[in-house]
Amino acid sequence: AAFRPAAARDPLAVLHEVFGYTAFRGLQDEVIAAVMAGEDALVLMPTGGGKSLCYQVPALCREGMGIVVSPLIALMDDQVAALRQLGVNAAALHSELAAEELGRLRADLSAGRLDILYISPERLLSPGTTTWLARRRVSLIAIDEAHCISAWGHEFRPEYRGLAALPESFPGVPRIALTATADPRTQADILAALGMTAARQFHSSFHRPNLFIAARAKGQEIRQVEAALAPHRQAASIVYCGSRNKTERVAQSLQARGFTALAYHAGLAPDRKRSALDRFRSGEPMVIVATIAFGMGIDRPDVRCVVHLDMPASPEAYYQQIGRAGRDGARADTLLLYGGEDIARARHWLEQSSAPESERRVMQARLESMIALTETVSCRTQGLLSCFGENLAEPCGHCDNCLAPVSTFDGSEAARMALSAIYRTGQRFGAVHVTSVLRGKLTEAVERHAHQHLTVFGIGKERSEAWWRATIRQLTARGALRISGEHGALAIVPEIARPILRGEERIMLREEPADSLRSAPRRPP
């Protein structure tokens, strides 16, 4: 029996009767009250925070059909299937609809039988559809994943831009924009782009107490990933990589180590993509090794571990990706592996970017916040939330730095040695060569350039190769070094390096945990 909403039903009754829940969570009831009153709303809630009910309940309570704009077909189909299970008459309108489904949908629409219609933005904005839908009684328009409208965001979808025109076709219909991206810049952008400056704003806390956040310098990458995934062999995990190639390589290495691992990236054939998604959704224990193409709309609740093999470009992207773990509320682990080369390369790419200056500055600021997060010696959760303007009063107690406080040491002398070695070798070499010089290792390259005759040769003998790599990485993270040219040559950034070289600035370095000191990577697995 299809559920038929009577006009202006009580939200709490709908929550009980249709969804079977006892109470609203967090800000849900406030959001719903605003939408019921016909106000526009912007809702910021972390992944798993319960955004869907914020529009589903009022769509069922208010007279007319609710329209939900969603960027992904898979996401729409999942939601529709779940709603139909509950007896709600929901449908999705997108380009992959079978002819038969489309016929049924048109009939339902004409008869006014639909409660909730999910639709892709390009479909909603096509002139025929807009006119056709504008003739129906529409209870609300929800714009899901609203950050897709922001060109600053990491998931920009140009077709979202057109949503600004909705009030012309649907005057007086309340709009509710929802996102799990908490960055204040993106919020402002959403409101401006949708012309919703008068919207009520609802921010819930982004703190996810069940996420155990950890970050480590890269050592033997594949061993580190394996160790992180090992406790979760019977569950689902996601490993994010910076490139398509790397997803395939890492998936193979994990398979060789007995994991069920699948690569996923935008370059896969559509059927391979779909089958990977289907298997992931099916609930079987597995590891998806993916680029950022894997993510939006993946709502498997029992992801127990998310590993980053390369540093995300911003705290927003990082938060979003680790947020795919532990959606069921149970404990989940996250591990971010980072290296000096990644950091320098990310900065280098940004410098080379052809994006407009203003945009580049924003991306730069985000990248620097991300780098600071990797190197922080204090609570990572506090650091991450502060990127979103949220102050966690106490350290979280469940990140690596809280659980095992990091010790720091005065690295001023080591920093001077490293910077001198880079200066004396002409700022033309990467970390591997500089480390050889510091440690007095007579390599072929050292001999070729006669670097064994430099005064800096061997000044850092008593420290390991990995220790020097960590020091160089931390100097890079602080901005005292940058990578110039395509060969990864380290160059000194004078403004920042000078006070260190002159002994005017004491610099504290973090003591690296043993596993990242074991061996430094020459190349990825």
Which window, 177-185, 322-330, 396-404, 510-518, contacts Zn ion (CB under 5 A)?
396-404
Binds ligand ADP (CB under 6 A): choice among 17, 50, 130, 245: 50
Q: Long-range contacts of range 460-463, CB-CB < 8 Å, 24 or more positions apart?
A: 460/414, 460/417, 460/418, 460/421, 463/414, 463/438, 463/439
Q: Which is nearer to Zn ion, 72 or 384 (CB)?
A: 384
What mask of x and - would describe binding to ligand ADP in positions 288 to 307, judged by CB under 6 A?
-----------x--------
For residue 24, the partner it binds in ligand ADP, Zn ion, none, with Cβ less than 5 to 8 A by kind, is ligand ADP
Tokens of 173: 């219909």
Judged by CB under 6 A, the chain residues 391 through 450 that form the site for ligand ADP are none
Judged by CB under 6 A, the chain residues 211 through 230 that form the site for ligand ADP are none
Q: Is 140 an interacting residue with respect to ligand ADP (CB under 6 A)?
A: no
> If DSSP codes are grouped into helix, strand and coil, which group holds residue 287?
strand
Q: How far apart are CA 228 and CA 148, in angstroms?
A: 31
Binds Zn ion (CB under 5 A): choice among 76, 379, 431, 492: 379
Residue 64 CB, shortest distance to ligand ADP, in Å, is 22
Q: Is 87 an interacting residue with respect to ligand ADP (CB under 6 A)?
A: no
Residue 47 CB, shortest distance to ligand ADP, in Å, is 4
From 525, 499, 339, select the one nearest 431 (Cα to Cα).
Answer: 339
Distance of CA 225 to the CA centre of its chain: 18
Q: Which is nearer to Zn ion, 124 or 402 (CB)?
A: 402
Q: Which is nearer to Zn ion, 141 or 384 (CB)?
A: 384
- Tell me the residue type at 355: A
Interstrand relation of 138-143 and 175-179 (parallel, antiparallel or unpaired): parallel
Is there a contact between 42 and 146 (Cβ–Cβ < 8 Å)?
yes
Is there a contact between 333 and 304 (Cβ–Cβ < 8 Å)?
yes
Binds ligand ADP (CB under 6 A): choice among 32, 35, 53, 385: 53
For residue 45, the partner it binds in ligand ADP, Zn ion, none, with Cβ less than 5 to 8 A by kind, is ligand ADP
What mask of x and - would describe binding to ligand ADP in positions 4 to 43, judged by CB under 6 A?
-----------------x--xx--x---------------
Q: Is 49 an interacting residue with respect to ligand ADP (CB under 6 A)?
A: yes
From 434, 432, 469, 475, select the one nearest 454 (Cα to Cα).
Answer: 434
Q: Is the Cα dihedral 234, 237, 241, 244 positive or negative?
A: positive
Q: Is 214 an interacting residue with respect to Zn ion (CB under 5 A)?
A: no
Q: How far apart are CA 202 and CA 380, in angstroms?
A: 25
Q: Is 381 an interacting residue with respect to Zn ion (CB under 5 A)?
A: yes
Residue 383 CB, shortest distance to Zn ion, in Å, is 8
Tokens of 242: 């910076």
> If DSSP codes are grouped into helix, strand and coil, which group holds residue 222?
helix
For residue 133, the partner it binds in ligand ADP, Zn ion, none, with Cβ less than 5 to 8 A by kind, is none
Distance of CA 483 to the CA centre of its chain: 25
Strand segments, DSSP code E, in 284-340 are 286-290, 303-308, 332-338
For residue 395, the partner it binds in Zn ion, ligand ADP, none, with Cβ less than 5 to 8 A by kind, is Zn ion
Judged by CB under 6 A, the chain residues 439 through 468 that form the site for ligand ADP are none
Which window, 313-321, 343-351, 393-401, 492-500, contacts Zn ion (CB under 5 A)?
393-401
CA dihedral 243, 247, 252, 253 (to 10 degrees): 80
For residue 423, the partner it binds in ligand ADP, Zn ion, none, with Cβ less than 5 to 8 A by kind, is none
Which window, 48-56, 133-141, 204-212, 290-298, contacts ligand ADP (CB under 6 A)?
48-56
Binds ligand ADP (CB under 6 A): choice among 51, 232, 265, 300: 51
Residue 29 CB, shortest distance to ligand ADP, in Å, is 9
CA dihedral 355, 357, 361, 366 (to 10 degrees): -10
Burial class of 390 by CB neighbour count within 10 A (0 to 12, 13 to 18, 19+): middle
Output the CA angle 489-494-498, nearest 5 degrees.
Answer: 120
Q: Is 55 an interacting residue with respect to ligand ADP (CB under 6 A)?
A: no
Q: Which is nearer to ligand ADP, 36 or 459 (CB)?
A: 36
For residue 396, the partner it binds in ligand ADP, Zn ion, none, with Cβ less than 5 to 8 A by kind, is Zn ion
Say how many residues touch ligand ADP, by CB under 6 A: 13
Which window, 83-91, 190-198, 400-408, 503-511, contacts Zn ion (CB under 5 A)?
400-408
Q: Which is nearer to ligand ADP, 11 or 383 (CB)?
A: 11
Sheet of strand 286-290: strand arrangement = 211-217, 332-338, 303-308, 236-240, 286-290, 261-264
First-to-last CA distance in the chain?
55
From 20, 124, 110, select the one nearest 70 (Cα to Cα).
Answer: 124
Residue 314 CB, shortest distance to Zn ion, in Å, is 20
Q: Is the Cα dihedral 482, 484, 488, 489 positive or negative?
A: negative
Residue 295 CB, shortest distance to Zn ion, in Å, is 24
HEC secondary structure over 250-261: HHHHHHHCCCCE
Residue 401 CB, shortest distance to Zn ion, in Å, is 6
Q: How far apart are CA 436 and CA 457, in angstroms?
A: 8
Q: Which is nearer to ligand ADP, 51 or 366 (CB)?
A: 51
Report the number of secondary-structure helices (H) and strands (E) in the chain.
23, 17
Q: Is 396 an interacting residue with respect to Zn ion (CB under 5 A)?
A: yes
Where on the chain is the footprint of Zn ion (CB under 5 A)? Answer: 379, 381, 395-396, 399, 402
Where on the chain is the footprint of ligand ADP (CB under 6 A)? Answer: 21, 24-25, 28, 45, 47-53, 299
